[in-house]
Amino acid sequence: MANSGVKMKTRLSEDGTKLVATYELHPFDFDRSGRLQVWTFLRMLEFARIAAIGPLIKQHTGTQSDGSTAFVRYQEVDFAPRYYTVVKPNTLLLMSVGISYVGRSSLFYDYDIRSDASETSISHSTTQMVRVNRKTRRPITWPDTLIDKMSKEGQDRPVVPDPFKARPDPVFACKFIVNNSDIDVRQHTNQSVYLRFGLDAAATGSRKNISVLKNIVFWPIRKVSLLYQKEALVGDELTVEVWQDQGRVQGWTFLRMLEFARAAAIGPLIKERVGTQNKGSTFSTAFVRYQEVDFSPRYYTVVKPNTFVILSVGLGYVGRSSLFFYYDIRSNASDDVIGHSLTQIVRVHKKTRHLKLWILARMLVLRPQEVLILLGAKAQLRNPGRLKAIAELLKTCNVFLRYREFRIQPEFYTKLRPGADTTVTVTLWISHVGKTSWLLEGDMRLASTGEVLCHCLGQAVLMSMAIRKPTGIPEFIREAFPPKNPLPRLHVPMPLNPGRIYRHDLVALPSDSDINEHTNFSTYIRFCADATAALVREGAFPFLKEEMKVKKISLLFQKETREGENVTVESAKDLGRSHSLDFQVKRGNDDIVKCCFEFFDDDIKSKL
């Protein structure tokens, strides 16, 4: 079974005033309610804005060496009702980013988001970006060349809301720890994470009857507004206070999509105008200071899985100390704008980045229905009379992972880089079928060259939904898969070796849950990676670098966790292998997942 990998493409609009970023959506971008994760959408806006900096800003300012950087101060995103009917997996979103307002000390980006099937906008975003002195952290003016070319002072400046002045009763407070997977290239908490924290806190409060909105995780979001005031670092404990706005009783992967579009827009929209920046003041990545999104009513009827959304990203406002991206969101079936977003950003340094390992794991997986269909499809070819039996199997059984293994090649870290052609092809197949379980293998290849980036191996068990026990696989399916000899060796993680064991506490959040309301298997990889990064910074594993390159991941699933449960990641050195760490994820005294990370030798500072 083949699947195209994630890729963002960018181009300039015909008049050269906007950057258009195109994203292909995949099932792992969606939450268990079937909607695109709003924080993912926010990151897509960010990436489009970053990509727009070159063609929209830098071509006017040239190389800057004044020690400046930029921050996003405000961002909002509006979702039209059509957004929720249009945005589906395996479709394209188009974000158009342009500068909508330029003053002496700030600028605004506007985003228009559409699907490729309609010209109607499905989301709109606005972002305010401020330029600051890197040392004093105070606002400074934009270069005169940019202001002279694009200033819109005298026009109506976009309105940025003030911070909340009072907290009404009741207020629900929820605490979060900033983990390594939450930070950006400048070691600050990524702006989309704040939205995820807010939605997780709202979902937790809803379950505790704090809000009149029940099952809030399934409610469609109409508008998101974020005002960035200060920064949070890894390890910080944050408190999210949630209350219901009595005046408005009436999102998180969508915002990541806006972020991706904004990041892609920096090159064609800004770098062409300001030229190459020196290391001290590069625009290659940015802080988001503020983001807001407005959604038209049609957004919620248009945006659904398996459709295309078009996000147009451009520079909306340029002042001497701030810069804004704006987004127009449309579907590919209509020219109507279904959403608008505004994002304010700051300039930051470049830093090496790799595809996150837990995202890699989610790309190399088949959903239970797909596995059973794949099993049945091959059997059906040999025995056409078994169609009814396969249909009954889909109704009464589910699939549970028992073991997963990922063997990562060095090319994974060198070829999958921002700005490169990162289209990948994922191929998955069933290599062996036993009495109650089967082996699933697969690989990820670079589409342009065919190079293998990762090979995966896993064991899945057919479970009866009625009794929650393994059940036999029908004989006609087993006959369709000849025995594999020899069987692949499963490198099952061993118990932690006696000695120094380190512990890192985490909480399974609503955003970590799968469609069965269990913690998604890939989340345990993130838990272990976050625990490792935190302990490395504390000096627990001096033989490892903080930015480690993992060569192999193996996981043995023992039990399940649900949202809201506390988990502890126990970690220790593998005494038999000097470049490996072993993990045991626990819930109280219950063993949940065993895991092992094996690292490339060049990441080892010294041998044990």
Would you list the domain boundaries of the chain?
Answer: 19-155+174-351, 357-479, 502-603
Tell me the CATH architecture of domain 502-603.
Answer: Roll (3.10)
Please compute the mean of the pLDDT values over residues 436-455 and round it to a whole number: 87
Q: How far apart are CA 309 and CA 22, in angstroms?
A: 8
Q: Name the β-bridge partners of 97.
A: 19, 314
Phi, psi of 389 (to 5 degrees): -65, -40
Contact 256, 129 (CB under 8 A): no
Q: What angle do CA 340, 343, 346 make, to 5 degrees?
A: 165
Q: Percentage of the chain surpassing pLDDT 90?
A: 9
Q: How far apart are CA 486 and CA 512, in angstroms?
A: 36
Same fold, 19-155+174-351 and 502-603: yes
Please compute the mean of the pLDDT values over residues 387-400 and round it to a whole number: 76
Q: Which of 423, 442, 329 is nearest to 87 (CA)?
A: 329
223-227 and 285-295 as β-strands: parallel, antiparallel, unpaired? antiparallel
Predicted confidence (pLDDT) at residue 594 exceeds the cutoff of 70: yes
In the chain, DSSP finds a helix count (H) and a strand count (E) of 14, 26
Secondary structure element (H or E) that encloses residue 41, with its range: helix 38-53
Contact 366, 444 (CB under 8 A): no
Rg (CA), the chain: 24
Q: How far apart are CA 248 and CA 268, in angstroms?
A: 38
Between the two ends of the chain, the Cα-to-Cα distance in Å is 42
Q: Which of 531, 526, 525, 473 is nearest to 502 (CA)?
A: 531
Q: Name the β-bridge partners of 343.
A: 325
Please compute the mean of the pLDDT values over residues 63-73 and round it to a whole number: 77
Contact 174, 242 (CB under 8 A): yes
Report the Cα 559 to chain-centroid distance in Å. 26
Tokens of 86: 């249009």
Predicted confidence (pLDDT) at residue 370 exceeds the cutoff of 50: yes
Tokens of 478: 């087993």
Top pLDDT among 132 and 27 is at: 132
Please compute the mean of the pLDDT values over residues 234-243 and round it to a whole number: 87
Q: Which of 66-80, 107-121, 376-390 has the lowest mean pLDDT?
A: 376-390
Predicted confidence (pLDDT) at residue 307 exceeds the cutoff of 80: no
Please compute the mean of the pLDDT values over residues 143-148 and round it to a whole number: 79
At residue 282 the predicted structure's pLDDT band, cuts being 50, 70 and 90, is very low
Predicted confidence (pLDDT) at residue 375 exceeds the cutoff of 80: no
For 137, other C-beta atoms within 10 Å of its C-beta total 10
Residues counted in the chain = 608
Q: How far apart are CA 402 and CA 552, in angstroms?
A: 17
Distance of CA 99 to CAs 10, 114, 267, Å?
A: 16, 18, 14
Predicted confidence (pLDDT) at residue 606 exceeds the cutoff of 60: no
Distance of CA 460 to CAs 243, 402, 435, 443, Å?
A: 42, 5, 12, 17
Please compute the mean of the pLDDT values over residues 559-568 and round it to a whole number: 90
Q: Which of 22-31, 221-230, 415-424 has the lowest mean pLDDT?
A: 415-424
Predicted confidence (pLDDT) at residue 329 exceeds the cutoff of 90: no
Q: Which of 99, 146, 575 is nearest to 312 (CA)?
A: 99
Please compute the mean of the pLDDT values over residues 462-467 and round it to a whole number: 86
Contact 41, 77 (CB under 8 A): yes
Which positions ≥6 away from 502 have C-beta within 8 Å?
531, 535, 540, 570, 571, 572
Q: How far apart are CA 324 and CA 308, in angstroms?
A: 25
pLDDT value of position 350? 42
CATH 3.40.50.2000, domain 19-155+174-351, yes or no: no
pLDDT value of position 195? 87
The CATH number of the structural domain formed by 357-479 is: 3.10.129
Amino acid sitting at position 585: V
Strands (E), 512-579: 550-557, 566-573
Strands (E), 279-331: 285-295, 309-318, 323-331
Distance of CA 264 to CAs 27, 90, 99, 108, 269, Å?
A: 22, 20, 15, 17, 9
Tokens of 284: 């290659």
Q: Name the β-bridge partners of 227.
A: 74, 290
Predicted confidence (pLDDT) at residue 503 exceeds the cutoff of 70: yes
Within 13 Å, how many C-alpha atoms sit on residue 561's CB side?
29
Please compute the mean of the pLDDT values over residues 203-207 and round it to a whole number: 77
Q: Which of 124, 55, 75, 131 is nearest to 95 (CA)?
A: 124
Q: Which residues of 84-98 are buried (b: 16+ CB within 10 A; e: fewer)?
A: bbbbbbebbbbbbbb
Tokens of 135: 């040392």
Contact 608, 543 (CB under 8 A): yes
Q: Choose from 344-358, 461-475, 486-500 the range with maximum mean pLDDT.
A: 461-475
Please write down the HEC assignment for all residues of 388-447: HHHHHHHHHEEEEEEEEEEEECCHHHHHCCCCCCCCEEEEEEEEEECCCEEEEEEEEEEC
